[in-house]
Structure 1
Amino acid sequence: MNLKEERDALVKASLDLIAAAEKRGGLSDADRADLKAKEKHIRGMNEHLEKAAEDQALLAQLKGSGGDSFVPDHSGGGKGGGLPVGDGAPLAIAPAAVKATARELAGNLVTAGPGGQKALIAGGTATATILARDTIGMPQLPTSILSLIPTAPLDSPTYRYLRQTNRAMNAGAVAPGEVKPTSAIGLTPVEDRLRVVAHVSDGMNKYDLLDVRNLQRFVENEFRWGLMTKVEQLILTGDGEGENPTGLLMQSGIQTQEFTDDLLTTVRKAITAVEVLGYTPNVIAMTPGDWEAVELTKATGTGAFVLEASPVDRAARKLFGIQVVVSTALEPGTAIVADLTEVALYTDRRGVMAEWNGQGQSDFESNLFRLRVEGRFGLGVGQPQAVVQVDTAA
């Protein structure tokens, strides 16, 4: 009897034990102890079976390709099956999802081996290297305003939307037979296109990727975070020159709020500027330094911190009841108060794509592989007046 057959027999024995206990009216202490022992044994068998499948698939891939390419094949086993070779896999693009989707990113970029097991560069391969812990990266500064902007996937690299530039409402009481007043809204068509944002790793030694546990996942996670950090900077402050999109703060028609008295007062006036036009602000974006200044606000004269009596909710990171996003993409001295439901982040249906490639001659001769992470993005601002650029200092 091989290991798989032994595992299946143990599972059947466990199910039979449970069925017999149900007929008796419940599990005895001996039954519970027996089931726990069987469960532990089954888990150990599963681990051995999974490791054996991964090793076999990796060896088969290396033998078949000569070790010259780790281009992913989505013909089967991957979550996004059906994509052509080299197309990468669609993923959530918000920075807040980076950690949550790191495993998905790694899983979607590997070739399916026997039994659907993943077999690109997986943990548990036959190797003499044993690490006590996963590779630890440098701290990733929080850049998450993109997670609050609605995302719209497109089928075309070009897009068109209508921007409201003015509103004149003249409704009034009208006597029978009199001409009704006319109201007007100014709608301007805006045409734009998706812009490619990308970066490529330097050459990485094949055996490092094979030997070091979770190195592939670690590199992909770092590069995806780096990509979305740049996307946020472009979406907020892009100058519209060349391949740069026109960022939120560079849009024509947004409001501005000068610094008044102190930071809290200035932000509150910006909220009013949004609300007076009928919008509901749902985000305050500011630099880490400005958020620190908010939390360290002191009372005049006594010098005591006023955090408890101020409109700051530290636990939920809210100010005046509105979500605060700390962004390193903003220039010092600048904050944003906005209703982001009037803004759209456009991308294609592939989302963020990643591809390992070692087919270049020089890389092949040197046993090197490179990772490319990229995506296409664009911005749509239907109601510029729902956005306020705030000066946080005099």
Structure 2
Amino acid sequence: MSTRRALGYRKGRAANGEDPRKRYPIYPIKGGAPTLIEQRDAIVAQLQDPNFDGDMDDLLRRADEIAAQIEQANQRDARLRALQAAIPPGDPQPTPGQRQQPGMQPDDQGNPHPVTAAEAFIRSQALEMFRANGKRGQFSIEHRAAPAGTVTTGTQPQQNTRVPGIIPQNPDLPLLVANLLDRQTSDGTTLEYMRDTSGPQSSWNNAAVVAEGADKPKSGPFTFDLITTTLKTVAHWVPITRQAADDNAQLMGYINGRLTYGLEYKLDREILTGNGTTQMQGILTTPGIGTYQPGSGNTDPKLITVRKAKTQGELALYPPTAVVMNPMDWQDIELDEDANGQFRVIANVTDPGAPLRLWGLVVVTTVAMTAGTALLGGFRTGATLWERQGVTILMTDSHADYFTANTLVILAERRANVAVHTPAAFVKITFAALP
């Protein structure tokens, strides 16, 4: 039987004179019925054909049928991968698609992927070769979580579109100050950027309604400082026995629980208080940020102080999005009571993992912030965290006398710096002493 007859075509033209080839696509026969891909491509070609004059309703119906069949096939494939990855209780021999060890869980589509630096390290071929070689020598694995970007020298870095919201973070760690910032990737070691020292927008924005033919007002003056700095390296290491290096669960515990968390904590402290020379540029040490402190004799509670500082940020025309404070100060705010003994802040005590918010601001608590002070601001508007690389994990047996003690070293490091390009977007708060 011919290809045309196999697909239901008749010879010649239809009774109404219509060419049947304009109604249904002709599929190539490759040893059987046309595949879903072939059917989809043929219908797509006809939908894209501006000269198609066949039965459009029938063509749209067939397009819907093929789309439904493809969706059903995708769902079946996803369910199959999920079923293969499931380990029933007492299964002594899991199938190859199942999770064999820590760091091998599938993603939402059933495909295995590294989520953290520890999982990327555990899955690496370099670790497998290191173990096969008797755990001798050294190797490193980099896990990059920052978006791609480029730093150019001599000019201000190009500003990418900023997406509102907080960048998702490892669920094992609390919300970090670094997650409040715009995060970009640097391709070099030197960072140059323009810092806007013009002050609050209200001081230079002279836009006004003018009569027809009248002179238009000029805004300004604008002042900028060219800031040149370098990316800084944050690193530390821990010892681990050769026996522990064979245990994936222990390795992930070391990398996530000690090394990665230590880097994140130090990064937060640098973002807040780095001196900008031998350390990263801290927001609190950047000239030009706003300040708010209750006046002499003013004993406003910390809850009220944060609200007034928010107003100061709004008057500068840089709407605040978050506030960072010491856990002790946040405790005072949550436990603040009115004259009737009622808490002024309604805390969700039944769900400690719920996001913290105050006056519409995201609250980040960290011991990296000195008690009695807080930092409020539009973090994504005011600063960018430039990262040269993600977290890099290195393992070696070449360290002092550790070789004879059957001890290895795991080292974690990252390179980054902060560009505080709009200091006026931040307000440093100094709380009044409690009575």
TM-score range, shorter chain: 0.5 to 0.7
1:170 aligned partner: 206
C-alpha deviations, 1:47-106, integer Å up to 9, x for none? Answer: 589869x9xx9998478524323x34xxxxxxxxxxxxx353324699973456xxxxxx
Equivalent position SS for 1:280: coil
Mark the structure with the bigger radius of gyration.
Answer: 2
What aligned pairs does 1:38-187 form with structure 2 within 5 A after superposition?
Answer: 44-46=92-94, 61=129, 65-69=133-137, 71-72=138-139, 86=140, 88-91=142-145, 97-99=169-171, 142=174, 144-166=176-198, 167-175=203-211, 178-184=214-220, 185-187=222-224
What is the Cα deviation at residue 45 of structure 1?
3.3
Following the alignment from structure 1 to structure 2, what is the Cα–Cα distance between the partners of residues 59 and 246?
Answer: 35
Following the alignment from structure 1 to structure 2, what is the Cα–Cα distance between the partners of residues 41 and 334?
Answer: 52
1:258 aligned partner: 293
2:10 aligned partner: none
Distance 1:269 1:374, change over 3 A: same
The answer (yes or no) to whether the contact 1:143–1:327 under 8 Å persists in 2 is no
Q: Whose relative contact order is higher, 1 or 2, with alpha carbons under 8 Å and at least 6 apart?
A: 1
Alignment RMSD (CA, Å): 3.6
Equivalent position SS for 1:266: helix
Equivalent position SS for 1:207: helix
What is the Cα deviation at residue 306 of structure 1?
3.0
Which one-letter code corresponds to 1:168 in the other structure? W
What aligned pairs does 1:3-22 form with structure 2 within 5 A after superposition?
Answer: none
What is the Cα deviation at residue 393 of structure 1?
2.8
The answer (yes or no) to whether the contact 1:98–1:224 under 8 Å persists in 2 is no
Equivalent position SS for 1:171: coil
Q: Which residue among 345, 352, 355 is the counterpart of 1:307?
A: 345
Following the alignment from structure 2 to structure 1, what is the Cα–Cα distance between the partners of residues 343 and 128?
Answer: 65
C-alpha deviations, 1:222-260, integer Å up to 9, x for none? Answer: 21001110111011011234x212201011000111035
2:267 aligned partner: 231
Distance 1:316 1:49, change over 3 A: closer
The answer (yes or no) to whether the contact 2:146–2:183 under 8 Å persists in 1 is no
Equivalent position SS for 2:374: strand
Equivalent position SS for 1:45: coil
Equivalent position SS for 1:290: helix
Which one-letter code corresponds to 2:341 in the other structure? G
What is the Cα deviation at residue 158 of structure 1?
1.1
C-alpha deviations, 1:306-338, integer Å up to 9, x for none? Answer: 3349xxx99542111111111111001011111
Q: Which residue among 263, 278, 281 is the counterpart of 1:246?
A: 281
Following the alignment from structure 1 to structure 2, what is the Cα–Cα distance between the partners of residues 182 and 275?
Answer: 23
Following the alignment from structure 2 to structure 1, what is the Cα–Cα distance between the partners of residues 89 and 325?
Answer: 53
Structure (1/2) with the larger helix percentage: 1
User: What are structure 2's unaligned runs of at least 5 residues?
Assistant: 1-82, 102-121, 148-165
Which one-letter code corresponds to 1:245 in the other structure? M
C-alpha deviations, 1:198-226, integer Å up to 9, x for none? Answer: 1111x32202332x561111000121001
Which one-letter code corresponds to 1:97 in the other structure? Q
Q: Which residue among 232, 239, 255 is the counterpart of 1:195?
A: 232
C-alpha deviations, 1:273-322, integer Å up to 9, x for none? Answer: 1111211211011111111111111113x33333349xxx9954211111
Following the alignment from structure 1 to structure 2, what is the Cα–Cα distance between the partners of residues 39 and 367?
Answer: 35
User: What are structure 1's unaligned runs of at least 5 residues?
Assistant: 1-34, 73-85, 101-139
TM-score (norm: length of structure 2): 0.60
Following the alignment from structure 2 to structure 1, what is the Cα–Cα distance between the partners of residues 271 and 169?
Answer: 18
Equivalent position SS for 1:218: helix
Q: Which residue among 226, 244, 249 is the counterpart of 1:208?
A: 244
Equivalent position SS for 1:307: coil
Which one-letter code corresponds to 2:417 in the other structure? G
Q: Which residue among 282, 286, 289 is the counterpart of 2:325?
A: 286
What is the Cα deviation at residue 171 of structure 1?
3.1
1:15 aligned partner: none
1:275 aligned partner: 314
What is the Cα deviation at residue 146 of structure 1?
1.2
Counting matched residue pairs gives 294
Equivalent position SS for 1:198: strand
Distance 1:326 1:366, change over 3 A: same
Following the alignment from structure 2 to structure 1, what is the Cα–Cα distance between the partners of residues 96 and 426?
Answer: 56
The answer (yes or no) to whether the contact 2:169–2:175 under 8 Å persists in 1 is no
The answer (yes or no) to whether the contact 1:95–1:144 under 8 Å persists in 2 is no
The answer (yes or no) to whether the contact 2:146–2:184 under 8 Å persists in 1 is no
The answer (yes or no) to whether the contact 2:376–2:429 under 8 Å persists in 1 is yes
The answer (yes or no) to whether the contact 1:236–1:330 under 8 Å persists in 2 is yes
Following the alignment from structure 2 to structure 1, what is the Cα–Cα distance between the partners of residues 131 and 336?
Answer: 64
The answer (yes or no) to whether the contact 1:143–1:328 under 8 Å persists in 2 is no
The answer (yes or no) to whether the contact 1:162–1:382 under 8 Å persists in 2 is yes
Following the alignment from structure 1 to structure 2, what is the Cα–Cα distance between the partners of residues 323 and 378?
Answer: 23
Which one-letter code corresponds to 1:88 in the other structure? E
Equivalent position SS for 2:191: strand
Following the alignment from structure 1 to structure 2, what is the Cα–Cα distance between the partners of residues 303 and 63?
Answer: 62
Equivalent position SS for 1:272: helix
2:407 aligned partner: 368
The answer (yes or no) to whether the contact 1:145–1:285 under 8 Å persists in 2 is yes
Equivalent position SS for 2:94: helix
Equivalent position SS for 1:152: strand
Distance 1:91 1:369, change over 3 A: farther
Equivalent position SS for 2:243: helix
Distance 1:48 1:320, change over 3 A: closer
